Amino acid sequence: MVRGWWQRGRVLAASRPLLVDIGVALLVQAAMTMPFVVPRAAGLPPATWAAYGLSTLTVVPLVWRRRAPLAVLFAVLAANALYRLTVDGPGQPLPYTGLVVAYTIAVVSPARTRAAAALVLAVAVPAGVWFNTRSLRELTFSFFVLAAAYAFGRLTDTRQRAHRVEAERAAARERARIAREMHDVLSHAVSLMIVQAEAGPVAVRAAPERAEAAFDAISATGREAMAQLRHMLGVLRDGDDPDGSPRSPQPGLADLPALLDRVRGSGLDVVHETAGAVRPLPGPVGATVHRVVQEALTNTVRHARAHTATVRLVYGASDVEVRVTDDGRGPRGHAAGGHGLTGIRERAAAHGGSAVAGPGPDGRGFEVRARIPAPAAAVAEAGR
């Protein structure tokens, strides 16, 4: 609950900076009111309404602190000078307004403005101490607290810059992930639909019953592609569920037989083999295996003019290897520089694995191999 309030506060601060600045000014005004309301010794000057009004005048410029920080600094210094020269009111234990302005300049201002502000303060602070107590202790304390506020502001600026860089990197990673998903879904579905559509006229003349099956396959592939696209667009529009779980699971190993059946419907004979100790895989790894097989078979259907493709999953002690081999035209029949093979490499690399593509065994056909870390112990622990 506290975290939720904190997040909502950050959103409000980012969307309504003027409200935040007004709140800061009111907080400073409350702190500066304390010397006027606490009991005062008999020998001290009285806390008059005129003095309180002038002290408020030193706070009002803080409302514009982010829009014109250097002008606000001059306004605060002028109001403080007016307070000291015209009334004999209560002093303040800390230079609140100066601290806020120094912090703001350190956060939002470029180097030239920061240098100008430092020069102004280097003159104004000793002058203020001279008119007040002429104490070396007050001078040292004033410079110390102002320097601390400035240093804290620079640390805040550095942290904000790091957050912005990380947010931009996260956005770039998310764009790349969405692009891979969109490419995989559309490329696979459109490729199968094109193959079926091209075979339709031939089937109508030679075997009408096969033409009907081809049109059914086109319809089923299109409906599935539309469903996946609606899911992805819904996530982009509305985000994930409140509990952080996605709206529907990513395809995994359980969906692999259906994928292979769809590809077989295009006329490509697909053989599925496994080796090693077959075991369940974590959801993200299973989804990556599914997408790697999908993209490799899509390339085969689109480019290879192959008759047979073999999908082989090799389960090792610390990883799973995906091998998709066809008997088609080899590397010249595949778009080696296309987005599909790049996406396969990116998916494998996201798990700390690797992927290569090239001629098949004995130089015939084409083969895609992806190795994805999946330690057996980690899988067992994840399943508990």
Average pLDDT over residues 321-327: 94
Confidence category of residue 17, pLDDT binned at 50, 70, 90: confident
Q: What distance in Å separates the CA atoms of residue 316 and residue 277, rounded to the nearest whole number?
A: 7
Q: What distance in Å separates the CA atoms of residue 121 and residue 197, rounded to the nearest whole number?
A: 78
**Structure tokens that stand for 187 in this block:** 């490329």
DSSP state of 133: T
Q: Which long-range contacts (CB under 8 A, 24 or more apart) does 175-184 make?
A: 176/346, 178/232, 178/236, 179/339, 180/291, 180/343, 180/346, 180/347, 181/232, 182/229, 182/232, 183/339, 183/340, 183/343, 184/291, 184/294, 184/295, 184/298, 184/340, 184/343
**Which pLDDT value is given to residue 187?**
72
Measured CA angle at 361 (ends 358, 365), to 5 deg: 60
**Which pLDDT value is given to residue 4?**
58
Q: What distance in Å separates the CA atoms of residue 86 and residue 106, rounded to the nearest whole number?
A: 31
Of 332, 336, 341, which Cα lies nearest the Cα of 292?
341
Amino acid at 323: R
Strand stretches in the chain, DSSP E: 269-276, 308-315, 319-326, 354-359, 366-373
Contacts with 176 (C-beta within 8 Å, 6 or more apart), sequence order: 346
**Which pLDDT value is given to residue 183?**
72
**Which pLDDT value is given to residue 94?**
87
Contacts with 262 (C-beta within 8 Å, 6 or more apart), sequence order: 192, 217, 220, 221, 224
**Which pLDDT value is given to residue 244?**
45
DSSP state of 249: P
Q: How far is CA 161 from CA 69, 87, 175, in A?
A: 19, 44, 21
**Which pLDDT value is given to residue 105?**
94
In the predicted model, what is the mean pLDDT of the chain? Answer: 81
Of 60, 72, 6, which Cα lies nearest the Cα of 28?
60
Main-chain phi, psi angles of 356, to 5 degrees: -135, 160
Of 325, 342, 218, which Cα lies nearest the Cα of 271?
325
Q: How far is CA 46 from CA 49, 187, 290, in A?
A: 10, 82, 80
**Which pLDDT value is given to residue 64?**
92
Strands 269-276 and 308-315: parallel
Q: Which domains does the chain have, with CATH numbers?
A: 2-134 (no CATH), 252-384 (3.30.565.10)
Amino acid at 299: N
Q: What distance in Å separates the CA atoms of residue 102 and residue 359, rounded to the nearest whole number?
A: 65
**Which pLDDT value is given to residue 243?**
43
Confidence category of residue 242, pLDDT binned at 50, 70, 90: very low
pLDDT tens figures, 189-225: 777 777 767 666 765 566 666 566 667 667 777 777 7
pTM: 0.56
Q: How far is CA 279 from the centre of its chain?
A: 33
